[in-house]
Structure 1
């Protein structure tokens, strides 16, 4: 994603903002599937966005697929537009890379629509003709609490389609954020990495 990094040179720093995040989680799950064989993960993120709506970033986590792959590194580039009505849309591209396993790498184009906490998003991998559709709702209450529910469906070009869902509850403390999530899939006789589970995450943003 050299293009994403090039964006940093095209906009004055006065009109842009950097951000960073560190997360420790009891299990790195993605679309209902554990990426760490149900083990903990350390995740780091660096992002940048401008007042024009353009944004880019990089994210990494340890993974465990039972082979020699140890790390995932993702890059993205996108454009987001928000309106006073509470509606926003988000268009972008993300590329997933895996240290030691170039054959697993793939990219997705995505489009997201959000209105006052309700969000729908569609992601497609044109090279492999796989697509993922998801919808979610997030509600903030109290001064520092939020709850959300989401569901997604993975449509593969070959067999193996499945649906996943999750319920999350989070609280923002002064020093860090805590989130508790319950998730499951409709995979028949699922392996342990796709079974129902509860995940606890602690994160810090700058």
Structure 2
């Protein structure tokens, strides 16, 4: 059985999440908190990676990926964003499919409480523009998520009311993610650890994935990340039409520029 999914990474296609416009009357603009330019932050990012892995599964058949996106955030905690990546997993699993790009659109609200606690709630839409044969279950997926953090540790739950990444009859699948990003006291390094459980409402499709790695801040908006990634995904489910097991262990690296 060939795999039908996990998220993806070719071309940086895309859309700027939001452009806010303000009233032209100075007196009115000055009286509104959101008229303060310092309350609004726009950023962009672009990355090259040895491959695209999502929740432990390969998305580019062990080939390099180019990725990037845009983010808007408000001082209130509200945010919108778009992220894009080249992918090949859809075509690798079905030769009749041509969908080389993953586009993610998300929005939510995040903030802090107490001394060291944080929270994040929102919705994420995965979109894969392309050509699909008749009767094919589209991989488009919607997830709503809620996360809580304490210091460098975060626990996040994502729930899919839609089918999950092309699996037919997989509504109500979910993913639980426990991660920690701990700053180290040398070489501007951050230790990155993660373990996640993907529940798929399809027989034998659920699995655990994990990662350990480091990120180094190179200055001027550049960062380098390296990691070891692995899963216990069932080979009979997550082997693509080209005969490659999508959940096999790998060493991974990426270089990111943030603007």
Alignment of 1:106-185 (within 5 A): 106-127=141-162, 128-142=171-185, 144-159=188-203, 160-175=205-220, 176-185=222-231
Aligned pair 1:202/2:234, yes or no?
no
Separation in structure 2 between the aligned mates of residue 184 and residue 116 of structure 1, nearest angstrom: 26
Classify 1:5/1:140 alpha carbon distance in 2 versus 1 (closer, same or farther; 3 Å): closer
Residue in structure 1 matched with residue 6 of structure 2 by the alignment = none
Offset, 1:83:
3.3
Residue of structure 2 equivalent to 1:73: 103
Cα deviation, residue 74, structure 1: 0.5
Specify the structure having the higher radius of gyration (Cα): 2
TM-score, normalised with respect to structure 2: 0.74
The Cα RMSD (Å) is 2.0
Unaligned 5+ segments in structure 2 are 1-15, 23-33, 133-137, 163-170, 240-244
Q: Which runs of 4+ in 1 moved over 6 A?
A: none
The count of residues paired between Structure 1 and Structure 2 equals 203
Task: Give distance in 1, aligned partners of 2:21 and 2:54.
Answer: 32
Q: Distance in 1 between matches of 2:18 and 2:225?
A: 34
Q: Which ranges of structure 1 fall in alignment gaps of 5 or more residues?
A: none
Counterpart of 1:60? 84
Q: TM (normalized to structure 1)?
A: 0.92
- Give, in angstroms, the shift of residue 137 of structure 1: 1.3
Structure 1 residues 60 and 5: CA distance shift in structure 2, 3 A = closer
C-alpha separation between the residues in 2 aligned to 1:12 and 1:77?
21
Partners of 2:225 and 2:185 lie apart in 1 by: 15
Higher normalized strand content (fraction of residues)? 1
